[in-house]
Amino acid sequence: MRPEGFASIPRKTIVYFIVVACFGLFAFRLVQMQIIDHQAFDEKSASNSIKPLEQVPLRGVFYDRNMEVITGNSPAYTMRITPAEYDKSLSRLLETVIDVDSGFIDKVLYNNRFYSKYLPIRIKRGIDFKAVSWLEENSEHLHGVDFIVEMQRDYPAGIIGSHLFGYEKEISPASLEKEKNYYSPGDYVGNSGIEKTYEKELRGEKGFNYVLVDAKRKETGKFKDGKMDKPSLKGRDLVLSIDADVQRVAEEELKKFRGAAVAIEPKTGEILALVSTPEFDLNQFSYVTTKEYLTGLYTDPDKPLFNRATMSGKPAGSTFKIMAAIAALDMGVINENTIITCGGGFYFGRFFKCHGGPHGPLNVVHAIEKSCNTFFYNLIYRIGLDKWSEYAHRLGFGHKTGIDISEDAPGLVPNSKYYEKIYGPNWPRSIMASLGIGQGEVSATPLQLAQFVALVANNGNSYTPHLVKGYLKENTKEFIPYKFNEIRTGIGQRAFDIVKQGMILVVQGAGTATRLKGDELKIAGKTGTAQNPHGKDHALFICFAPYDDPKIAIAVVVENVGFGATYAAPIAQKMVEAYLLKNKLKKEGLQKNKGSNNQLFGARQ
Amino acid sequence: MRIDYKLEDKFDLGLFLSFLILFCIGLAAIYSATYNNHAAAGNFNRQLYWGLASLLVFFIVYYLPTTTFSMISVPSYLISILFLIAVLVIGRRIMGHKSWFGFGSFGFQPSEFAKLGTILGLAWYLSKKKVDIETFKDIIITLGIGLLPVGLIFLEPDMGTTFVYLGLILVMLFWKGISLFGLFIVLSPAIVALSSLFGTVYFVIALFLVIVGLFLFRKDLFFSGAILALNLGAGFFTEFVFNALGPHQQKRILTFIDPNSDPLGSGYNAIQAKVAIGSGGLFGKGFLSGNQTQLQFIPEQWTDFIFCVIGEEFGFIGSIIVLILFFYMFLRIIKIASSTKDEFISLTLIGILSVYFFHLAINVGMVIGLIPIIGIPLPFISYGGSSLLVNIFMLGIVANVYRTRKNYT
């Protein structure tokens, strides 16, 4: 009975037999399971479904730099439907209960038909309490319908912050496709401002509770005793660099205008306030946004949705003279003793007029004080266009600032290539004269101006401007700072010392903003007027204070009102007061109850 | 001189199409299994890329000169052993197994590649002219070549792959022409070793059966005594190895022997797998509509439990199509293997067949409840790059042999 040797017929037959037998057995078993016993298995499968209950985490809140909550959460009810369990004949009734147009529910379900029918779909957010109690009472008859408590944003500190905080919006089909790993239809995601940039930190981690349901879709218990449940993780609480008081004052002062104000702490690049007006009501977004409200926002000629503080580029006007002075001093084409005589204007191809009559012989300090156009018409020709442009770039103009919200416009600083493209190699050199006083093609955003004056105040060094300083660690509530890039302009100290002398004279001497004169705040600044071919000029003011140890740097732009000192400068002054005088009060308060100081203040540097 | 114009003469289209259809069914099943799983959402795309890469591998192997395989047999075996040792020392742990190498985000499983190395190594030795499978010495050397990788993989520990190797060695010995008594010598220590894990009573019963067997073969007393000693040794050695293992590894082996000792683990999966397949019925619940699959009753369904997805969503029709395609493939391989007179080639093909066969038998067997749950992928269908590449490389060898078969007959 010995089989023959290598690959013999009997051996081949045995191998065949084993393969055939195995497949035969499998096929028989499949017939048994899938055809004969199918009914029993099917019942088991139906009686043994798990339903995942999504646990939406609490979104992180925003603290201001003094640990005051400026964006929080409050509860709201959302009605949901799980399509696999839902009977569409209920739609008419439900539509009247939650007060929506007829056909609304079926439309929402139809729009979400591509997603798993076992996952609940949000039908309407913010349903009122009467509807909630009706749903609760009739839950027995409403298969596949439930409601959950979700948190919505509220703003307890009285700060509007519409462009700063930004808003959440129901996720778009396109971004849902991209990130279906995390989001499900109907989820809200940050759509602008900080809510958008820090979405991943703020949202936390969804949790799931798994419950077993029987064939009648009744819950029969926890799946695997809750061993598979995943609790939700709360989102990170962010600590903003915003100072609630400064922000409030700026919002209040700018309310009557179209414009923007940005305040920065020069040493750190931390943004203390960022306001763009007109604002809009974020509460309208955190609830159910009505169509009328949205249409109103879109069609408003003042464009309230537009973030003027970071997006609107305008000629920097006379504030740009500071930039030209720094460039000239650093290059050495002038020094503090160089005199240029103002005879009331400047001639280059045509006559460029100075304002306020001939200023006579001036050095750079007094040229800044008087904002003498003649001096700066001359200066840009000594600097040269490309050098001028290079210095502007080093001081933060002509490119995005890198602020931690996505609304960030680059502005424009032209150079010779720019004009060659438009006019050819023989572009009219007379164009440069206007650039010298910050008019013409040059454009800068209020944020860029604020960053610029912060760089001046801190002698050419700072950090990328940012709104969020860091976050609080989940369990210990310890403050963890985010890291930001350092900015080093590489410009010598001397240039800053000299222009600052000019800037202090603007306010404290015989300059253009002497109404802010005062020893308590020691403001140094520069007024500006951006020419506007479409209407009244825009008023500009940049400043920092106190002069000898700058703690706040501010840029204010008010559109279509005229001269800078009249409208923009007083707003800046109010902001400086809110910041510097409050700090003084706080210090006194802290000294009184020493020791009760909590660790948050200690950790924040 | 003959000139072939027909494609079928050079290219086994049926074999290739079987693979292609199986791979596509696998892709659909992976898509469905990961559809509602956020963590594994990228698996479908990755498998698609691996599939494209594997087509390239297939055609490269297909066009190689057939002599290449005997040339690389010894080096590939040695490299396999080297990698298996290396993975034990520096490997990355995935789910309690130390069987992966990490290269950045890519994982690479040496035990997959070692299958091919072992097949080639065994085929090389068994096809040597002076090797006589009737001698005790050559049986021992063959077993040594085959069991070295087994031992290393067992230490990882990877139970499923260990069984595939044992089956592979057995089938190749059988194909080479081992006698019934030789088969008895090879098999009995393995059975004794296994039964010793179940306890002393089973160990004694197995030994008794061995003595009965020896008596029936009527060999001389000295030889019979040696075999008995070998069996005893195997039993005690297993005991020794088991005690040397860590508690975690011991638990895995015990769970394998008795699935009910861990009812929430593999026992639970066994029940859910059967429910998934049974509830699929004749036509299935439809693509993406299987509630067992979509609600993820069974973890990681895109790997070892992928047959459940097919059974639930494509029903009996889908499952039987998969079985028929594999069946057709296996019959082709046996036919090609027995049509060549070159021993090395024939043995290699039979080795490849047994790897496919044991993977399929263990994988499908466990999900339809015929054998205990052992983690092992379904060839061409389960998600996984290493496994797909090795399987397609082996299929390339089969197609290559078909191309040049006329030179060997």
DSSP secondary structure letters along A170-215? EPPHHHHHHTTTT--TT-EEE-SHHHHHTHHHHH-B-EEEEEEE-T
Q: Which of A29, A181, A227 has its CB closest to that of B370? A: A29
The answer to whether B276 and A103 have CB atoms below 8 angstroms apart is: no
Distance, in Å, from the CA atom of A179 to the CA atom of A185, rounded to the nearest integer, reads 11
What pLDDT shows up at residue B112?
A: 85
Which residue of chain B has the CA closest to A33?
B278
Q: Is B365 on the interface with A (CB under 8 A)?
A: yes
What pLDDT shows up at residue B59?
A: 95
Q: Which of B35, B180, B276 has its CB closest to that of A1? A: B180
CA geometry: angle at A424 spanning A423 and A426, to 5°? Answer: 95
CB contact under 8 A, A38 and B279: yes
Q: A156-170, A414-428, B263-277: which has the minimum mean pLDDT?
A: B263-277
Question: Which of helix, strand or coil describes residue A398?
Answer: coil
CB contact under 8 A, B357 and A19: yes
Share of residues in chain A with pLDDT > 70 (%): 91
Residue predicted with more confidence, B102 or A402: A402
Nearest CA-CA distance, residue B307 and chain A, Å = 12
Average pLDDT over residues A38-48: 79
In three-state form (DSSP H/G/I as H, E/B as E, the rest C), the secondary structure along chain B is CCCCCCHHHHCCHHHHHHHHHHHHHHHHHHHHHHCCCHHHCCHHHHHHHHHHHHHHHHHHHHHCCCHHHHHHHHHHHHHHHHHHHHHHHHCEEECCEEEEEEECCEEECHHHHHHHHHHHHHHHHHCCCCCCCCCHHHHHHHHHHHHHHHHHHHCCCCHHHHHHHHHHHHHHHHHHCCCHHHHHHHHHHHHHHHHHHHCHHHHHHHHHHHHHHHHHHCCCHHHHHHHHHHHHHHHHHHHHHHHHCCHHHHHHHHHHHCHHHCHHHHHHHHHHHHHHHHHHCCCCCCCCCCHHHHCCCCCCCCCCCHHHHHHHHHHHHHHHHHHHHHHHHHHHHHHHHHHCCCHHHHHHHHHHHHHHHHHHHHHHHHHCCCCCCCCCCCCCCCCCHHHHHHHHHHHHHHHHHHHCHHHCC
The answer to whether A166 and A140 have CB atoms below 8 angstroms apart is: no
Radius of gyration, alpha carbons of chain B: 22
Q: A130-134, A163-167, A461-465, B3-7: which has the minimum mean pLDDT?
A: B3-7
Residue with tokens 């604002």: A279
Which residue of chain B has the CA closest to A26?
B365
Q: Is A29 on the interface with B (CB under 8 A)?
A: yes
CB contact under 8 A, B175 and A15: yes
Average pLDDT over residues A224-250: 87
**Is the per-residue pLDDT at A410 higher than 60?**
yes
**Is the per-residue pLDDT at A271 higher than 70?**
yes
Which residues of chain B does A8 touch, with a Cβ-Cβ cutoff of 8 Å?
A: 177
**Is the per-residue pLDDT at A276 higher than 90?**
yes
The answer to whether B118 and B165 have CB atoms below 8 angstroms apart is: yes
Q: Is A15 on the interface with B (CB under 8 A)?
A: yes
CB contact under 8 A, A30 and B176: no
What pLDDT shows up at residue B322?
A: 97
pTM of full prediction above 0.90: no
Distance, in Å, from the CA atom of A202 to the CA atom of A194, rounded to the nearest integer, reads 9
Q: Which of A5, A7, A118 has its CB closest to that of B291? A: A118
Average pLDDT over residues A565-569: 84
Sign, Cα dihedral of B129, B133, B137, B138: positive
What pLDDT shows up at residue B107?
A: 52
Length of chain B, please?
409
Contacts 24+ apart (CB under 8 A), A32-37: A33/B274, A33/B277, A33/B278, A33/B368, A34/B277, A34/B278, A34/B280, A34/B281, A34/B282, A34/B311, A34/B315, A34/B316, A34/B319, A35/B281, A35/B282, A35/B316, A37/B278
**Is the per-residue pLDDT at A227 higher than 80?**
no
CB contact under 8 A, B279 and A41: yes
Average pLDDT over residues A141-167: 87
- Which value, to the nearest 10 degrees, does the dihedral of the CA atoms of residues A506, A510, A512, A516 take? 70
What pLDDT shows up at residue B22?
A: 96
Beta bridge partners of A77: A127, A149
Nearest CA-CA distance, residue A599 and chain B, Å = 38
Distance, in Å, from the CA atom of A197 to the CA atom of A203, rounded to the nearest integer, reads 11
**Is the per-residue pLDDT at A601 higher than 80?**
no
What pLDDT shows up at residue B354?
A: 96
Q: Is A228 on the interface with B (CB under 8 A)?
A: no
CB contact under 8 A, A38 and B278: yes
Q: Is B297 on the interface with A (CB under 8 A)?
A: yes
CA geometry: angle at A370 spanning A526 and A519, to 5°? Answer: 55
Candidates B292, B295, B310, B345, partner chain A, best to mutate (most A CBs within 10 A): B295
Q: Which of B41, B315, B326 has its CB closest to that of A181? A: B41
Q: Which of A41, A180, A182 has its CB closest to that of B275? A: A41
Nearest CA-CA distance, residue B244 and chain A, Å = 32
- What is the count of residue pairs from A and B with beta carbons less than 8 Å apart? 130
Which residue of chain A has the CA closest to B38?
A181
Nearest CA-CA distance, residue B146 and chain A, Å = 19
What pLDDT shows up at residue A600?
A: 36
What pLDDT shows up at residue A329?
A: 95
What pLDDT shows up at residue B255?
A: 61
Q: Is A35 on the interface with B (CB under 8 A)?
A: yes
Q: Is B195 on the interface with A (CB under 8 A)?
A: no
Q: How confident is the model at residue A319 (pLDDT cuts 50, 70, 90)?
A: very high
Q: Is B317 on the interface with A (CB under 8 A)?
A: no
What pLDDT shows up at residue A90?
A: 87
What pLDDT shows up at residue B214?
A: 84
Ranges of chain B with pLDDT below 70: 1-7, 37-39, 91-108, 156-157, 244-249, 251-268, 295-297, 299, 408-409
A115-151 burial, b if ≥16 CB within 10 A, otherwise e?
bbbbbbbbbbbebeeebbebbeeeeeebbbbbbeebb
Average pLDDT over residues A142-170: 86
The answer to whether A258 and A302 have CB atoms below 8 angstroms apart is: yes
Q: A211-225, A275-289, A397-411, A541-555: which has the minimum mean pLDDT?
A: A211-225
CB contact under 8 A, B361 and A15: no
What pLDDT shows up at residue A47?
A: 64
What pLDDT shows up at residue A582?
A: 79
Distance, in Å, from the CA atom of A258 to the CA atom of A262, rounded to the nearest integer, reads 14
What's the Cα-to-Cα distance from B365 to each of A78, A417, B265, rounded to whole Å?
47, 74, 18
Average pLDDT over residues A26-42: 91
How many CB atoms lie under 10 A from the CB of residue A502?
25
CA A184 to chain CA mean position, Å: 24
In three-state form (DSSP H/G/I as H, E/B as E, the rest C), the secondary structure along A293-340 is HHHHHHHCCCCCCCCHHHHCCECCCCHHHHHHHHHHHHHCCCCCCCCE
State yes or no: ipTM above 0.85: yes
Q: Is A181 on the interface with B (CB under 8 A)?
A: yes
Q: Structure tokens of A432?
A: 């440069």
CB contact under 8 A, B334 and A8: no
Q: Is A215 on the interface with B (CB under 8 A)?
A: no
Q: How confident is the model at residue A58 (pLDDT cuts 50, 70, 90)?
A: confident
Nearest CA-CA distance, residue A47 and chain B, Å = 11
The answer to whether B172 and B351 have CB atoms below 8 angstroms apart is: yes
Kindly report, residue by residue over A342-394, the tens digit of the pLDDT. 888 888 888 888 887 788 899 999 999 999 999 999 999 999 999 999 999 99
Q: How do strand A270-277 and strand A259-265 relate by DSSP bridges?
A: antiparallel
What pLDDT shows up at residue A604?
A: 33
The answer to whether A403 and A447 have CB atoms below 8 angstroms apart is: yes
